[in-house]
Amino acid sequence: MPGDLLIHELGPKGDGIHRSQGRPVYVDRALPGDRIQATIRRDDDGVLRGDLLKVMKASPHRTKAPCPNYDVCGGCTLQHAKDEFYRHWKVDIVRDALRSKGLKPRVWRDPVFLPAGDRRRATFTAYKKNNIVALGHYRRRAHHMTDIASCLVADPAVMDMRERLKTLLALLLQEGKPAMAFIQAVNGQFDIVITGPVGQKGKPDLRTREAIAQFAREAGINRISWRANPDDAVEVIIELSPLRAHFGGLDVILPPLAFLQPTQAGEDALVDSVMELLPRTGKFADLFSGCGTFTGPMLERGAVDAYESVGSAVRALDKAKGTRPLKAIRRDLFLNPLRRDEANRYDAIVFDPPRAGAQEQVRTLASSRTPLLVGVSCNPATFARDARILVDGGYRLDSVRVVDQFTWSHHVELVAAFTKRSR
């Protein structure tokens, strides 16, 4: 039965929250102050969720979503929120995560909010039915996939390539079997990775490879790769020319699926935020370095040891270093974190772990004498956990800056500075 709900707050994943007898009900696309009509159901994990049927009285924070696909696409979460409310909410996600661990920085640096429309990487779900390919996104918490012809957050070059790619996928994909297409656009260069069954036997045969090669030449794509499953290594089918990215003075040839910040403006904002904190000269470590987003700019101030677990990224950095004082070191920092005596060698350490955070690594950093630690994170919850360890180990949380390049989503990034307290 439908029920009337008053939304009291907005959760960290963008759901409106109604509280009834102390129990939260999460409603997608609802805002604080909304009075709505919704059906309530219980998820398999026991969470109560409301399916929005009608907004009876709109929140003062509500606005019309600008995207025509918003009702059927799960790519964005908060297009229905006014900018001022949305921005306060993004900052509050970080504030609340820190507060939950009893933390407050000495300084909140001005947040950075970046405009939509230049997301340079995207993964689309692909599906062929009756020889017609749909290429789009699943609706949030649903199994319905919608073909998306336009996108307000993506770089237009990505969307143009997405449309052209349908022609190739119509030849490659098996009828009724979903696949994924990853498209990354870097300074006019394109890297495409297809994941899933292709060809008659589920993997590239001669006909499939010839079709891929012809498409790459005609569409001007640098590289197209394939893998059967998301956890598999990629097989490069054709590479017409290497993909290059510039990080500071480093000219890096990118391996397939190389991790880059989703937008160039976001990368610039994060790099600037980190470099403003580092000393002008010194010896530095870049932990979870990837292909060198921070390593390159740091090299302009001194020697850098870059630690990364992905072999292709380490090799790319090693080839790019030339005569610069860079050591690219392959090391799984989850299994083999930098030791205290190793950390003590550096004047500053930058760490930018994946969403899981760097719990084991910060435990050893907390006991080190490194004067400055700079943390970059895309997950405020795991960052707050790790920051608590550093503060308990003798570091002071000096500053935090929120950087939002994931417009209209619940994702947010931050840059934080920790200095060692004198004993």
CA nearest neighbour of 333 among 303, 312, 363? 363
**pLDDT tens digits, residue range 190-232?**
999 999 999 989 999 999 999 999 999 999 999 999 999 999 9
d(CA 172, CA 354): 33
Q: Average pLDDT, stretch 348-362? A: 98
Is 151 considered catalytic here?
no
Residue 339: DSSP 8-state: P
d(CA 306, CA 295): 7
Which two structure tokens, joined as six digits, stand for 156? Answer: 């237009």
Could you give the 3-state DSSP secondary structure of residue 362? Answer: helix
**Rg of the chain taking only CA atoms, in angstroms:** 23
Which two structure tokens, joined as six digits, stand for 247? Answer: 């990080």
Hey, do 88-115+260-420 and 121-239 end up sharing a CATH topology, with the first three levels equal?
Answer: no
Alpha helical stretches, state H, 305-407: 311-320, 340-343, 359-366, 380-392
The Cβ of residue 262 has, within 10 Å, a number of other Cβ atoms equal to 23
Task: Share the mean pLDDT of the chain.
Answer: 95
329-337's contacts with Cβ under 8 Å and 24+ in sequence apart are 329/305, 331/307, 333/287, 333/288, 333/307, 333/309, 333/358, 333/360, 333/361, 334/309, 334/358, 334/360, 334/361, 337/361, 337/363, 337/364
Question: Domain residues of the chain, as ranges?
Answer: 2-62, 88-115+260-420, 121-239
CB 215 within 8 A of CB 224: yes
CATH class entry, domain 121-239: mainly beta
Distances in whole angstroms, Cα of residue 299 to Cα of each of 250, 251, 277, 288, 304 = 9, 12, 15, 16, 6
Which two structure tokens, joined as six digits, stand for 31? Answer: 């805002």
Residue 120: DSSP 8-state: -
CA nearest neighbour of 293 among 239, 340, 226, 247? 247
Q: 2 falls in which pLDDT band (50, 70, 90)?
A: confident
d(CA 119, CA 150): 13
Among 73, 76, 291, 378, which one carries the catalytic annotation?
Answer: 378
Which two structure tokens, joined as six digits, stand for 375? Answer: 């943390």
Distances in whole angstroms, Cα of residue 66 to Cα of each of 76, 81, 104, 408 = 11, 10, 35, 11
Residue 275: pLDDT over 80: yes
**pLDDT tens digits, residue range 317-343?**
999 999 999 999 999 999 999 999 999
d(CA 271, CA 376): 10
84 is in an annotated binding site: no
What phi-psi label fits residue 357: left (phi over 0), alpha (psi between -120 and 50 degrees) or beta? left
Instruction: Write down the pLDDT at residue 20.
Output: 81
**pLDDT tens digits, residue range 393-420?**
999 999 999 999 999 999 999 999 999 9
Residue 146: pLDDT over 90: no
Read off φ and ψ for residue 422, nearest 5 degrees. Answer: -75, 140
d(CA 31, CA 9): 7
Q: E strand or H helix at 298, and its extent?
A: helix 295-299
Which two structure tokens, joined as six digits, stand for 45? Answer: 């994990």
What CATH architecture does domain 88-115+260-420 belong to? Answer: 3-Layer(aba) Sandwich (3.40)
| Per-residue exposure over 4-14, b if at least 16 CB sit within 10 Å of its own CB, e if not | ebbbeebeeeb
d(CA 313, CA 408): 30
184 is in an annotated binding site: no
Instruction: Write down the pLDDT at residue 44.
Output: 83
pTM (two decimals)? 0.94
160 is in an annotated binding site: no
Is 2-62 a domain of CATH 3.30.565.10?
no
Instruction: Write down the pLDDT at residue 75.
Output: 84
Q: Average pLDDT, stretch 50-79? A: 93
215 is in an annotated binding site: no
Instruction: Write down the pLDDT at residue 87.
Output: 98
CB 320 within 8 A of CB 254: no
Distances in whole angstroms, Cα of residue 375 to Cα of each of 33, 70, 178, 273, 378 = 35, 34, 38, 11, 10
